[in-house]
């Protein structure tokens, strides 16, 4: 029998790559779809016809219980979140509800549907394996570099705080109920399907617009922040690998290389044969109330225990995104309309 996966956040970047990957591995894939008419869900539908959609929302406990009852999954991947860090200051309470409390609601749905009593302390219980999309934003103001599974957390945004709650809750359900529940502490990962608000895609779209004569400048915030950027297609393989391990454990996933936003900009403009200094304008209004200055993963545990390695370098990733956006805009695509996905 084919294994069944339920993915929350299926209409996002990672959800689409994970669904594609699991389908290629012979899984039956179901995704939680939110809202009455969600253009991002239609975009996913165009790309992947074989996904079953079930209605639900991380704000709605009953809908998550129904989704688990309907799908009867072997594996649940909780990727749904408000994931844009600046938005988490503007809508801090909503971020706490979706990105933090949403994890509790999903774990409770699994616990209830698996018949695990809330008073049971546990040996391993239940059949459903759970993956939580934790984040390097939990490290925030870092105390050591590179960051490992045991580096202390000091989140710097309401988003980071909400993810830290979800992370500890996932560990707690593993320890309290013996559930197979793991967190992947994933560092920034990008692709041509990345949302246009994140810096890599903002830069690749900006470069493409300038190259095609559709814009004359690109406005950015903090150019000195450092991130460990990898390719999303590689990172969804790691999510799947974590749920196939014999014992449930948390893993850091990243490349182990870090670059500044300035490096990103220079690499992207150079890939299009342009001189970035002629076009990039820095804007204080785009700086954050509290910044995460430096992130760099130590993915040794994942390499040794799971055999996971990234396959796309920073330079290849940036070139891939610039090339894809030049093609998208040349073909008349509109990234703001959520209409198309490579
Ligand atoms: P996206 O922003 O592309 O996707 C977020 C998804 O969450 C969308 O499918 C969105 O659906 C869904 N969502 C939002 N609100 C709700 C809700 N109330 N109920 C159910 N679903 C909801 O994120 P990514 O694909 O980049 O990231 C996936 C996950 O991994 C997120 O949890 C993110 O925080 C985390 N993460 C991402 C990293 C990265 O670098 N990409 C690194 C580390 C962690 P809708 O279409 O309905 O809005
Ligand atoms: P991040 O990604 O906050 O790390 O979270 P983002 O691409 O938004 O920012 C990365 C860094 O770039 C700096 N920056 C800018 N960022 C944006 N968005 N726009 C700008 O104009 C700009 N100028 C400079 C930022 O200050 C920051 O330092 C992502 C999300 O996917 C999270 O959900 C995920 O958990 C983490 O990665 C790991």
Report if residue 306 sits inside a domain: no
Q: What is the pLDDT of residue 27?
A: 98
224 CB near ligand 2 (under 6 Å):
no
Q: Please state, as a whole number, how many other Cβ atoms lie within 10 Å of the Cβ of residue 124.
A: 12
Same domain, 184 and 200: no
What CATH number did the domain enclosing 332 receive? 3.90.25.10
262 lies in the same domain as 160:
no
For residue 146, give the CATH number of its domain: 3.40.50.720
Closest approach atom of ligand 2 to CA 287: 26
The reply to whether 342 falls in a domain is no
Q: Are residues 62 and 199 in the same domain?
A: no
Q: What is the pLDDT of residue 122?
A: 57
Counted domains in the chain: 2
Q: Give the atom of ligand 2 at the shortest distance from the alpha carbon of 261.
A: 12
Which residue range(s) make up the domain with 328? Answer: 195-227+258-294+312-337
Long-range Cβ contact pairs of 271-274 (< 8 A, separation 24 or more): 271/207, 271/318, 271/319, 271/322, 271/323, 272/207, 272/208, 272/210, 272/211, 272/322, 272/326, 273/211, 274/207, 274/210, 274/211
In a domain, 101, yes or no: yes
pLDDT at 35: 87
145 and 222 share one domain = no
56 and 201 belong to one structural domain: no
Residues 207 and 180 in one domain: no
Q: Is the CB of 99 under 6 A from ligand 2?
A: no
Amino acid 334: pLDDT: 84
Say whether both 184 and 124 belong to one domain: yes
262 and 235, same domain (yes or no): no
Residue 125's pLDDT is what? Answer: 65
User: Which stretches of the chain drop beneath a pLDDT of 50?
Assistant: none
pLDDT given at position 123: 61
């Amino acid at each position: 029998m084919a294994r069944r996966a339920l993915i929350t956040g299926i209409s996002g970047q990672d959800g689409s790559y994970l669904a594609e990957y699991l389908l290629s591995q012979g899984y039956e894939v179901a995704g939680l779809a939110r809202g009455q008419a969600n253009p991002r869900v239609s975009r996913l539908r165009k790309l992947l016809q074989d996904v079953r959609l079930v209605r639900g929302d991380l704000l709605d406990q009953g809908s998550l219980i129904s989704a688990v009852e309907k799908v009867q999954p072997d594996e649940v991947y909780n990727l749904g979140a408000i994931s844009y860090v600046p938005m988490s200051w503007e809508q801090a309470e909503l971020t706490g509800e979706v990105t933090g409390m949403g994890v509790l609601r999903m774990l409770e749905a699994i616990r209830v549907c698996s018949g695990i009593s809330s008073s049971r302390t546990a040996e391993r219980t239940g059949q459903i394996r759970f993956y939580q999309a934790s984040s390097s934003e939990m490290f925030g103001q870092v105390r050591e570099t590179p960051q490992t599974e045991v580096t202390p957390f000091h989140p710097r945004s309401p988003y980071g705080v909400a993810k830290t709650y979800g992370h500890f809750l996932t560990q707690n359900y593993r320890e309290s109920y013996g559930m197979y529940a793991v967190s992947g502490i994933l560092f920034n990962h990008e692709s041509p399907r990345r949302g246009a608000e994140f810096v890599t895609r903002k830069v690749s779209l900006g470069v493409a617009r300038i190259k095609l004569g559709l814009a004359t400048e690109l406005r950015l915030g903090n150019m000195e922040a450092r991130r460990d950027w990898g390719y999303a297609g590689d990172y969804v393989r790691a999510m799947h690998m974590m749920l196939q391990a014999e014992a449930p454990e948390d893993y850091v996933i990243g490349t182990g290389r870090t670059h500044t936003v300035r490096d990103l900009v220079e690499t992207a403009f150079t890939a299009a044969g342009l001189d970035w200094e002629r076009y990039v304008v820095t804007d204080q209004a785009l700086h954050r109330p509290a910044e995460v200055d430096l992130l760099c993963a130590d993915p040794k545990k994942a390499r040794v225990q799971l055999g996971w390695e990234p396959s796309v370098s920073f330079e290849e990733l940036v070139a891939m995104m610039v090339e894809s956006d030049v093609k998208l805009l040349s073909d008349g695509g509109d990234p703001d309309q959520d209409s198309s996905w490579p």
